[in-house]
Amino acid sequence: MKRLAVIAAAILTATTLSIAPASAHAALQSSNPAENAALDAAPDEVTLTFNQAVQSNFATVTVIAPDGIDWAASDPSVDGSTVTVDLDGLGAAGEYTIGYRVVSADGHPITGSVPFQLTQAAAAPPVADLDFTNEAAQAAPQDTEVVEDNGFPLWTIGAVVAVVGAAGVLFALRKRSN
């Protein structure tokens, strides 16, 4: 009798454990752009809608161009079941992939991707508009000789300040000992 009760309790526990997490998971319900949508211009933002609220922390969203550049221009903002990321335009024409990772209310991470097409390459933005928080933009070759170009490297200022400061300390010490 006691053994039966233990077995029943074990079965009940196993059943509860295997069913509860599955039913509590968040899942992607829709997106804008929609899966496999064909766009001729970049939208202002990308929106992912889940079937339940997701945790406001830990969300990541990337919008990867055919050439590998991530065009997501902000951290994702989470509003209940909706996750939004800004776009500062898009680049080359071709297949883009929205990649996401969110944490559902039950603590389980949900990852996935949504492909869409950009049918026309976006016009290149003026250099001043480039987003240098973008990793790909940071990796782009930049003028490394800016400091040398004005003939007065910044470290010389630091060296002068250090020498003047040291001289001042020596002077003060000598004055005190006299």
What is the binding site for Cu ion (CB under 5 A)? 21, 24-25, 106, 108
Q: Report the residue number, 87 or 105, with the smaller CB distance to Cu ion.
A: 105
Spatial CB neighbours of 21, under 8 Å, sequence gap ≥ 6: 106, 108
What are the backbone dihedrals phi and psi of residue 123, each rounded to the nearest 5 degrees, phi first? -65, 140
Q: What is the length of the chain? A: 178
In the complex, minimum distance from the CB of residue 158 to Cu ion, in angstroms, rounded to a whole number: 54
Parallel, antiparallel or unpaired: strands 94-103 and 60-64: antiparallel
Token digits of residue 159: 């060296």
Q: Report the residue number, 25 or 101, with the smaller CB distance to Cu ion.
A: 25
Q: Report the residue number, 109 or 125, with the smaller CB distance to Cu ion.
A: 109
In the complex, minimum distance from the CB of residue 118 to Cu ion, in angstroms, rounded to a whole number: 33
In the complex, minimum distance from the CB of residue 92 to Cu ion, in angstroms, rounded to a whole number: 37
Q: Report the residue number, 27 or 147, with the smaller CB distance to Cu ion.
A: 27
DSSP string spanning 38-76? EESS--SEEEEEESS-B-SSS-EEEEE-TTS-B-B-S--
In the complex, minimum distance from the CB of residue 18 to Cu ion, in angstroms, rounded to a whole number: 12
Distance CA 116, CA 141 (A): 29
Nearest to Cu ion by Cβ — which residue?
A: 108
Indicate the SS3 state at residue 83.
strand
Token digits of residue 47: 């929106």
Q: Report the residue number, 26 or 48, with the smaller CB distance to Cu ion.
A: 26
Distance CA 88, CA 107 (A): 31
In the complex, minimum distance from the CB of residue 85 to Cu ion, in angstroms, rounded to a whole number: 23
